[in-house]
Amino acid sequence: MKAWSCLVLGVFLCLPLAAQQPTFTETVVVTASGEEENLESVAAAVTVFDEEEISRSLETSLASLLRRSSGVTLLRSGLDGGVTSLFSRGTNSTHTLVLFEGIRLNDPYFGGYDWSLPLTAGVGKLELVRGPYSALYGADALGGVVQLFAPQRTGTSWQLLGETGSGGWSRYQGGVSVGSQSWDLSVQAVERQGTGELVNDDFWGKALTFSAGFRPRDGARVGVLVRASRSRTEIPFSGAQATPHRFTAAEETLVGLPWRFRLGPSLQLEGHLARVEGNLTFRDPDDPWGYTAADTDKESWQGRLSLRGQLGSHRWQLGGEWRQDEVTAGSSFGPALTDRKQTVRSLFLQDRWSLGRGGEVTAGLRWDRAGAWEELSPRVTWSLPWASGRVWVAAGKGFRAPSLGELYYPYSGNPSLQPERSESVELGVTQMLGNLMLQLVPFANRITNLVDFDYTTWRFANIAKSRQKGVELSLERRLQHRLLRLSGTYLEAEDQDGLRLLRRPQWSGSFTLGENFAWGQGEVSLVYVGRRPDLDPVSFARVQQGGFFTANLAAQLPLTELSALTVRVENLADRSYQEVRGYPAPGRRVFVGLALGRQ
């Protein structure tokens, strides 16, 4: 606690509070309420990574950016291509909803999302909203929502980047964006690869994003969105056993048709129709138990329609969603699922009632139904603004629907499973101190009906519970071409027996400082993840995993008007640590590249 107090005090003392005008009013947030709001006006725990920060960081993975936010922990198994899990407010890795322009990306087979897959190329903004948002978005939003947005620009810009570095690393990235007031077009592509220190420890990944839109009139846009990702990761060992030929490969393709139309001065109709398909491949010809191959094909059709308007002091939103998930899976042991489907139908309503000097009340309710279950998810927020800040109190319920694997996997599946359910409350305070925004959010969650394996019946069952409580702190300073962000989280996360939940640190935090200088751009990012329980991959015993602290640097140094030298350093102090037990993280890595382009 003393260390955090000193750090916070130092920030207050060292920052001039009125040097330039803040740009929080220029940072727009959509995910928290389903409509555009300025960041300083949002009554929710939100972190936004805009296009300038993404570009200046030179990061390849979105997971590396998300580490910088309070309230979340991201842990990776080994190198860049290793499975990466996100824990929001101490909830499970399956309890955060992931959207791309409103299109759901979560895995319908066993839930969750692997954060090693999405790359920064083709992403113009990332929003992270913490807390239960099933009232607006439905299943999986118990711990929070992460939403990605494609770039939408006016004018013409293009970029090319070639990068090489430690461990056989290479990255090739390019993109072009053109647009005007009536249309926009963006194409972004990237390929990366690297080599580990062990035999069979290489990885590669690539992604392509295409976004186009036409604006027939003011307040209207009809778009096309395509995003395709491919990756392959070699696995050098399993427990204490070397696996010289084991690997996994993943594919994900999204095709969406988003649109919106303004029907009147205060009436907006918007929606989308989308298809998301994925494939996961596993191969190990040397497996001693005969599990040599597995293949999973996933497909999700989804549509959303919503109408927003204003009537007096009420800003309301109502709509519906439809989604059909389908999974086919099998292995060298035989078929697991064959064209198994689940259809979800949803209706939602939200009202924002302005009380004048009494603040604002936002109340939402959503109904979801699929198969044997249906769910009602409410959320209520009261917020009170004042000249230099805002306070709010929020309470809500969230749920995660049983996945197709949990319902129908041979022998262990249970078609009678009910959704996992959460109840949450939070108190938030946002205070503007000149050009510095301070946010403090204590929260508490209780999750019941958790799906776990029941060894008495040898099937999945709703038998587990957990609780999480903690405090999030963030200090953020946004000026023109300058960013300072300090984030800290204290978390207590336990199961029904009082045991700390695996891989949830009690203390975590980060510090980011980035600026555009006369000589170029620079950024430093520090991340701390405290001690946390984990499982030993050989004995499967609970162990205490040590905390780690990393420092990353990034710089872009102009050579000519259209070219720049890029330099990145990861793990600057060359620390030895493991994010996940049994998977050593890379040591110091240095990357040098050449960037060409016009913004």
pLDDT number for residue 240:
84
Question: Does domain 20-598 sit in CATH 1.10.3720.10?
Answer: no
pLDDT in tens, 264-321: 989 999 999 999 999 999 999 999 999 999 999 999 999 999 999 999 999 999 999 9
Q: What is the mean pLDDT of residues 66-88?
A: 94
Tell whether the torsion through CA atoms of 56, 59, 61 and 67 is positive or negative: negative
Q: What is the mean pLDDT of residues 476-481?
A: 85
pLDDT number for residue 12:
38
Of 444, 431, 425, the closest CA to residue 384 belongs to 431
Predicted structure pTM score = 0.93
The 3-state DSSP class for residue 221 equals strand
pLDDT in tens, 555-568: 999 999 999 999 99
pLDDT number for residue 26:
59
pLDDT number for residue 478:
84
| Type of residue found at 374 | E
Burial 261-275 (b: 16+ CB within 10 A, else e): ebeeeeebbbbbbbe
pLDDT number for residue 24:
53
Cβ neighbours, 10 Å, residue 36: 8
Residue 18 confidence class, pLDDT cut points 50, 70, 90: very low
Rounded distance between C-alpha atoms, residue 56 and residue 38, angstroms: 22
The 3-state DSSP class for residue 166 equals coil
The full length of the chain comes to 599
The 3-state DSSP class for residue 329 equals strand
Ranges 167-171, 371-375, 548-552: which has the least confidence: 371-375
Q: What is the mean pLDDT of residues 443-459?
A: 93
pLDDT number for residue 481:
82
pLDDT number for residue 20:
40
Phi, psi of 500 (to 5 degrees): -65, 140
Phi, psi of 245 (to 5 degrees): -130, 15
| Residue tagged 């810009």 (tokens) | 157
Q: What integer best gives the mean pLDDT of the chain?
A: 92
pLDDT in tens, 210-236: 999 999 999 899 999 999 999 999 999
Rounded distance between C-alpha atoms, residue 22 and residue 386, angstroms: 17
Rounded distance between C-alpha atoms, residue 114 and residue 478, angstroms: 30
Token pair listed for 239: 């427990």
DSSP state letters, 353-422: EE-GGG-EEEEEEEEEEETTEEEEEEEEEEEEEETTEEEEEEEEEEEEPPPHHHHHSTTT--TT---EEE
Name residue 439's beta-bridge partners.
430, 474
Q: For residues 385 and 386, which has the higher predicted lDDT (pLDDT)?
A: 385
pLDDT in tens, 229-264: 999 999 999 988 999 999 999 999 999 999 999 999
pLDDT number for residue 456:
87
Name residue 378's beta-bridge partners.
365
pLDDT in tens, 19-36: 344 445 457 788 888 888
Cβ neighbours, 10 Å, residue 387: 5
pLDDT number for residue 224:
98
pLDDT number for residue 111:
92
pLDDT number for residue 479:
81
Using a pLDDT cut of 70, give the percent of the chain over it.
96
Q: What is the mean pLDDT of residues 413-436?
A: 93
pLDDT in tens, 151-192: 888 889 999 999 999 999 999 999 999 999 899 999 999 999
In the predicted structure, residue 9 carries a pLDDT above the cut 50:
no
Torsion, Cα of 156, 211, 58, 587 (10° steps)? -160
Of 242, 336, 334, 233, the closest CA to residue 292 belongs to 334
**Which residues touch 115 (CB under 8 Å, ≥6 apart)?**
61, 62, 63, 66, 74, 84, 85, 86
| Type of residue found at 502 | L
Phi, psi of 192 (to 5 degrees): -135, 155
Torsion, Cα of 58, 60, 63, 69 (10° steps)? 10
